[in-house]
Amino acid sequence: MDVLMLSRLQFAMATMFHFIFVPLTLGLSILVAIMETKYVRTGDETYKRMTKFWGKLFVINFVLGVVTGITLEFQFGTNWSRYSEYVGDIFGSLLAIEATTSFFLESTFLGAWIFGWNILSPKMHAACIWLVAIASNLSAAWILLANAFMQNPVGYVLRNGRAELDNFFQVLLNPFGWQQYVHTLSGAFTLAGFFLMGVSAYHLLKKQNIDFFTRSFKMGMVFALVFSALVALQGHHHAQEVGRIQPAKLAAMESLWETQESAPMYLLVVPDEKNEKNAIELFGIPGGLSFLAHGSFTTPVQGLKDWPADERPPVMLTFLSFRAMVGIGTLLPILCIWAFLRRNKLTETPRLLKAMLFAIPLPYLAIEAGWVVAEVGRQPWIVYGLMKTADAVSPIVTSQVAFSLVALTLLYALLGAVDIYLLFKFAKKGPAEA
């Protein structure tokens, strides 16, 4: 493999591994803040125990997320220096704002929250975790706006062979970025809800701390029910935005090769990328894809053959990832509805509890699949329509990237094992020892 492919693999590995931690941080920070607010308002000690128990799991996840995220920013200098040189005026400013505001804010007040239980007043202590939660979710906004420039470049001018910042407010108000933000946060909050339900289900199956974990389960259930429905509804709107701004990505998501009016949506498709067609197309809904993409059953949808072969996204990976995301995203609200219907008889419904325990990985898989769609579906562009990925890689030798890829993979595997061990250990202990 050449430097380009190795650098892409390294960044993909690091990004996807880092994103295992980010969604739980975003969602669990809000849930822990709600728990502590309930404790401050009611004085109910159960909510204090809930805050400490789930807060400990949040801190473990947060720390691993920070460690795995640092290497990503270094790679823009080591592996993607030409990209940084070309768009650093825009991309770098957003990352700098994220670091100097959101990251420092959440890190500072997380420290105050961890060590301030017996020092700060209850209201001030609760305010700390709310600031952590707000800063964490604000951090996601800056990161996604930076990514949105790669997806839908706005607010720039080409000058001296570089893309330079011309209108910061266009970058800040990039509609694609805010679509991504709502979609990502909805998925993250869904994941946090399922995390609460899954861990609670383990203890409820063992008849441990029934009241504690029933409250936790119900809180996670409400969170997951609301946001799993929102992510599905908003995902449809976001897909229409993708169809407008990145039509080649939409064509790859649906494996549509020929431009068609009243484009059908097939429920069973097997892409044949080599021969530029689909080997199997079954159960077509006439005009279904046109309606989903443009809100009209007759509007034409562009096919992949409208672009040169070297400007099409990898079809099979994009197509399968999109199907995985949609499939899991359809299952999650169904599980939430089942939980809602049995919310007052949880210990009498062991099948539900077992299902929720084993469902913990599902939101993770859906979110990772979504990021594959977003990033692989943008190829061969690193900045859509402006700079190709092949032109962005650093002028370094293959052996350097191969070494760092192996080293980072081993390091991340170790960190992942530590994270899983710690989360499992403290989740299994329960609140009495939290």
Residue 223: domain span: 3-259+302-429
289 and 307 assigned to the same domain: no
147 and 136 assigned to the same domain: yes
339 and 311 assigned to the same domain: yes
253 and 292 assigned to the same domain: no
321 and 361 assigned to the same domain: yes
pLDDT digits (tens, 9 = 90+) for 260-309: 888 888 888 888 888 878 888 787 788 888 888 777 788 888 888 888 88
Is 383 within a domain?
yes
Mean pLDDT of 142-167: 88
178 and 42 assigned to the same domain: yes
Which one of 236, 271, 301 terminates a domain?
301
Give the amino acid at 41.
R
CA separation for the pair 163, 86 (Å, rounded) = 6
| pLDDT for position 193 | 94
Phi, psi dihedral angles at 281 (to 5 degrees):
-140, 110
128 and 59 assigned to the same domain: yes
Is 24 within a domain?
yes
287 and 146 assigned to the same domain: no
| pLDDT for position 218 | 92
The structural domain count of the chain equals 2
Is 131 within a domain?
yes
Give the amino acid at 390.
A
Partner residues linked to 269 by β-bridges: 281
Which residue intervals of 43-174 are DSSP H helices? Answer: 45-78, 81-97, 104-115, 122-151, 168-172
196 and 292 assigned to the same domain: no
199 and 268 assigned to the same domain: no
Give the percent of the chain with pLDDT over 70: 99
CA separation for the pair 412, 410 (Å, rounded) = 6
pTM of the model: 0.89
296 and 380 assigned to the same domain: no
Is 434 within a domain?
no
CA separation for the pair 434, 410 (Å, rounded) = 30
Q: Is the peptide bond before 380 cis (omega within 30 degrees of 0)?
A: yes
Q: Of 88, 28, 87, 91, give the one whose Cα is nearest residue 61.
A: 28
In sequence order, the 6+-apart residues with CB closer than 8 A to the CB of 419 are 21, 60, 61, 64
| pLDDT for position 206 | 87
pLDDT digits (tens, 9 = 90+) for 86-105: 888 888 888 888 888 888 88
**Residue 432 DSSP class:** G
Radius of gyration of the chain (CA): 23
Angle of the 81-97 helix axis to the 45-78 helix axis, nearest 10: 150
pLDDT digits (tens, 9 = 90+) for 348-407: 889 999 999 999 999 999 999 998 998 998 989 999 988 898 888 888 888 888 888 898
Which one of 301, 328, 352 terminates a domain?
301
For 290-425, strand residue ranges (E) read 381-383, 387-388
Is residue 318 helix, strand or coil? helix
200 and 289 assigned to the same domain: no
